[in-house]
Structure 1
Amino acid sequence: MNQLSLKKALLTLTIVAAGTFTTFAQRIAYVNVNTILESIDEYQAAQRDLDKTAQVWRQEIAQEYDKIKGMYNRYQAEQVLLSEDERQRREEEIMGKEQEVRDLQKSRFGPEGDLFKLRQDLVRPIQERVYAAIEEYAQERGYDFIFDKSSGAGMIFSNPSYDKTEDVMKKLK
């Protein structure tokens, strides 16, 4: 094989390889879901409602802990005057009240608590709308993958030209 035919063969192979890689190229973009959510008035209102409710519940729990502290202070002041049975009863009463408040705190703020359920009721429909808009955008524009930059799931660097957050926000309006 002479030099010219070898060059032609390599050039042909390079063109075929480039065409093959182009055929399999995947379109990728990213969005910042937090930015999109923050731009939705309904989401901001839901967040305010959740914050207000959480604050009320925190105050309620703090008041209960204050009552327990008062019970304990009275117990400490009167302890020397109490019989052994009365001391035992008061200690159990204080510990029982502490357990009640811990249970209340868990039922309000625990992983399956009232705040979690309320958040699901208020925020989930909005999130689903955003995810549907992202999916629709991806299908319309032919994207194979759209990543969420706000989740921080391994995105170390991203070229701003691939950021489609604004496009999705326009789609939601």
Structure 2
Amino acid sequence: MELIGYARVSTREQKLDLQLDALKQHGCTKIFMEKESGGKSDRPELNAALGYLRNGDTLVVSKLDRLARSTFDLHRIAKQLEERGIHLVILKQNIDTSTPAGKLMFTMLGAVAEFEKDLINERTAEGRAKAKAKGTHMGRKGQDEKQVKKALALFYARQDNGLSVNEIAGMTGVPRSTIYAKVKEQ
């Protein structure tokens, strides 16, 4: 029986140190580390960890949200582990699925985590709707039309001025993609 750790952060800038310390302190002999969003179900290191685990092993994560962000995904992983005779330990929430109480807590916390995520999504949608109703622009700021016209003029005069699209983009602040899109529109 082996304790296998899985640590995940959402962005490359975030550090795994605290999770790694907790997993090592718990006695994990091997740790799979990932810098991927939890919203993705297809995470290479999680898949590698799940593939590495054998009957009688235990998957250890520091917190529930490091493993999954949706109840569906959480239950899919838990069911897969259970069918293979693998236990799950979540350190922060003190859950161990080798016990009946641990299984119950695991299910309840997964439901609460998804409920919280749904509430955040609902509030975000309401905020977007209010902003839109007030006429507030949503999304990225559009390009300055003067600069776009200047970029297009330089683009069409490339044979005379010898400028590349990269140079035009650098001079005007208009991205290459915008220049090409505007050229395509005309």
Q: What band does the TM-score fall into relative to the shorter chain?
A: under 0.3
Instruction: Tell me the TM-score normalized by structure 1.
Output: 0.24
Q: Which has the bigger relative contact order, CA under 8 A and spacing at least 6?
A: 1
